[in-house]
Structure 1
Amino acid sequence: MATDRNHRSDPLDEWADRDYPVAEDMAFQRLSWIIERSGWAVMVVLVIAALAGAFSSGFISGATTSDPSGALTVEYERFHRTGASDVMQITAAPLSGDGILLHLDAGFLRRFTIESVTPEPREWRGDEDGAAMVFPAPEGRSLTVHLALRPERAGRATSRIMLGRPADHGPAVELAMFVYP
């Protein structure tokens, strides 16, 4: 009794390679399925990350940091997109009666363009360490400043915002952000 070469494999074994009626390479098929399912898993993770705010505004992206004394608090987004505007909120308590000086380090100014400041500062001061904005001291309360920012360069951005001049070693906060292209 001769057996046909095309019908040698067990017809009930779904994982066996077949030549009849269509040639099937089951090892390659299994690899294709694994790659397909891995792709779907990556897509699901990306969608969940996007909904959570990993690429824009959201609960992962929003951050608030303050110095140990509580005199300086910054609310900002950890993730930005190059060329897209965003808002940062800085709340500062007056350290003296002659005004509030907010100092932005040079790293911040290299990475971001400040489009607007609300309320308008009384004075701007620049130096090799960055720039400072001087605001009149509000009577008995803290001042909230809104900065409209536009990131200019993609990549990791670390910066420092300080209450007072850097030489004074006043309250400061460190910001860690990431700018997408």
Structure 2
Amino acid sequence: MSRDADHPDLHSRQIPIREDMAYQRKVWRFERCGWYALVLCMVLGLLGLFSRGPISSQDVRSADGAVRVEYDRFHRNGSTNPMKVSVRGAPEATVEVELNGELLEGFSVETMQPPPLRARSAAQGLHLWLQADTQGQATLYLTLRGDGLGLYRSTVKAAGAESVTLTQFIFP
């Protein structure tokens, strides 16, 4: 015990009010832990644990570098978040992009820019055909609205390229 424990105000007493200082110290320790937990939640929230921010932003590339996806790992149900899919192919050719997995189970696609040349639904995903520019780069901007709850795993793949795995979590 420290010297503060010897202070008369920290001893239990009966007059003028009955006090149990051992119990009061436990309550104070519990309150301090609660304050620390609250501050930790606030800091994590500011960093992006519950939506947009540095720990939420993700930029993944395929092993061969042909597919790149920029997205947020953490979403809130009902909120919208952007996703950018970049694919490298032949100059001025049509590039096929596959969105597979649980992406369409947990999210609604609100917008898709530029509109794909062609689109087809598949067993567990979506096939989109995009026009590549003169450098062979095709970029698709999506706005996703989180409709589900929990963890969702998806893949993005271009024809003839390695796939990229996405892991996203939707909070209530």
Q: Same fold (TM over 0.5)?
A: yes
Tell me the residue number matched to 2:169. Answer: 178
TM-score by length of 1: 0.86
- One-letter amino acid of the structure 1 residue matched with residue 33 of structure 2: S
Q: By how many angstroms is 1:143 displaced?
A: 1.3
5+ residue gaps, structure 1? 1-10
TM-score by length of 2: 0.90
5+ residue gaps, structure 2? 1-5
Cα deviation digits, residues 2-31 of structure 1 (max 9, x gap): xxxxxxxxx954433210122111111011
Q: By how many angstroms is 1:179 displaced?
A: 0.4
How many aligned residue pairs are there?
A: 167
| Preserved CA contact (<8 Å) 2:109 2:143 | yes
Tell me the residue number matched to 1:8. Answer: none
Q: How much identity, in percent, do the aligned residues show? A: 31
After TM superposition, the runs of 4+ consecutive aligned structure 1 residues lying more than 3 A away are 11-15, 95-98
Q: Which has the larger radius of gyration?
A: 1
Cα deviation digits, residues 108-143 of structure 1 (max 9, x gap): 111111111111100111121311111123222311
SS at match of 1:87: strand
| Preserved CA contact (<8 Å) 1:94 1:138 | no
Q: By how many angstroms is 1:95 displaced?
A: 5.2
Q: By how many angstroms is 1:51 displaced?
A: 1.0
Structure 2 CA distance for aligned equivalents of residues 154 and 140 of structure 1: 39
Structure 1 CA distance for aligned equivalents of residues 90 and 24 of structure 2: 70
1:30 to 25, 33, 39: 25
Tell me the residue number matched to 1:21. Answer: 16
